[in-house]
Amino acid sequence: MENETRVPEAALPLAAEEIKRAVRERYTQVAQRSASCCEAPAPEGEARVAQYGYELDLLGPEVPATVVESFAGCGNPLAIEALRPGEVVLDLGSGAGLDCFLAAHKVGPAGRVIGLDMTDAMLGKARENQRRLGIANVLFCKGEMEAMPMAEASVDVILSNCVINLAPDKDRVFCEAFRVLRPGGRLMVADLVTEGELPAALRTLDAWTCCLGGAIPLEAYVAALRRAGFDPVEVVEATGWRPGVLSVKIRAIKPGAEGKGGKAA
C-alpha cells in the first residue's frame, strides 16, 4: 500500500500508542474543563457552536451548558447533507455528544445514533448530557475508530468532527468506515488538513493532541478515502484555519447501491 497518508517520520517520532495515550489525556481534561482543546479561530464552546451554524434550538428552549462547553469540533458535519428519518448514524469520536443529539433529532424515533469514543470522561459527559436532554435514540459506546465494534454494512451514515486527524493510522480508520457502512452509505466529515507538508512548528505531541500535528495534506486525505473504496469523494468546503492548515468538510460514498449514494432530495 502507498504510504502517503502516513505522517513523515520527522513528524511522528512516537509510537501510535503513545500518541493515543496523550490524546486520551487531553480529552479527559477537555471533558473536565481543566484544559482547552485546541487553539481555533473561534473560542470554544458556545461561541464556536454558534459560528458553525448549529441548530441548537432543536434540542429545546434551554440547552444545558455542559452540552456545548466541551465541544471540540472544527466544523459542522451535519451541514453537509440532510439526514433522513429512520437512518442509522455512527459518530466517530463523539466527544460530549452534540452532533449525536442533533443527528438523533433528524433521524427521529425510527432511527438511531451511535456515538463512539475512546475516552471515558467524554463518554461519561455525553451520557449525562443525554440524560439531561431526555433523548432516547442515542447509544454511546466505548471503542476506537481503528477497530469499530460494529457489524459490516450496519450503518447508513458516518459522521465525524475533528477526530480523524488524531488517528496515527488514517488508512485503517477509512477501511473500517468503509466496512461498517452499507452500500450507498455516506461518510460526512469535518476535519483539519494541511496545505502541503505539516509546518515544522506543529511536529510536537502537544500539537498532535490539539488536532494539528496529525493533520495530513488534503490530497493525501482524499487519496486515502479513495484507496479505502469510497467513490465519489467530494471536498464540499475548505476554509483557512491557521497558516498552512485548512478546515474541510468532505462527503464520501460507499458505492454499491444504485441510486442510494446521491444527494438527498
Ligand X SMILES: C[S@@+](CC[C@H](N)C(=O)[O-])C[C@H]1O[C@@H](n2cnc3c(N)ncnc32)[C@H](O)[C@@H]1O
- The residue type of 103 is A
Q: Which of 12, 122, 135, 212 binds ligand X (CB under 6 A)?
A: 122
Q: How far is the CB of 93 from ligand X (least distance, A)?
A: 3
Q: Which of 45, 73, 111, 214 binds ligand X (CB under 6 A)?
A: 73
Helices (H), 79-209: 98-107, 120-133, 170-180, 205-209
Q: Which of 7, 11, 12, 23 binds ligand X (CB under 6 A)?
A: 23
Q: What whole-number distance in Å separates Cα of residue 188 and Cα of residue 190?
A: 7
Per-residue binding string, ligand X, 30-69, x by CB under 6 A, is -------x--------------------------------
Q: How many helices (H) and strands (E) does the chain have?
A: 8, 7
- Given the complex with ligand X, which of 118 and 253 has the nearer CB atom? 118
> Which segment (4-12, 41-49, 115-123, 193-201) binds ligand X by CB under 6 A?
115-123
Assess contact for 216 and 170: CB atoms under 8 A. yes
Say if strands 155-161 and 88-92 run parallel, antiparallel, or are unpaired.
parallel
Assess contact for 190 and 158: CB atoms under 8 A. no
Q: Which of 104, 167, 215, 245 binds ligand X (CB under 6 A)?
A: 167
Assess contact for 34 and 125: CB atoms under 8 A. no
Q: How far is the CB of 100 from ligand X (least distance, A)?
A: 9
Contacts of 228 (CB under 8 A, 6+ apart): 171, 174, 175, 177, 178
Cell of 39: 487553539
Between residue 124 and residue 153, which ones bind ligand X under the rule CB under 6 A? 144-146
- Given the complex with ligand X, which of 38 and 235 has the nearer CB atom? 38
> Which segment (53-61, 117-125, 215-223, 228-236) binds ligand X by CB under 6 A?
117-125
Cβ atoms < 10 Å from Cβ of 17: 9
Per-residue binding string, ligand X, 194-223, x by CB under 6 A, is -----------------x------------
Positions that interact with ligand X (CB under 6 A): 23, 27, 37, 71-73, 93-96, 98-99, 116-119, 122, 144-146, 161-163, 166-167, 211
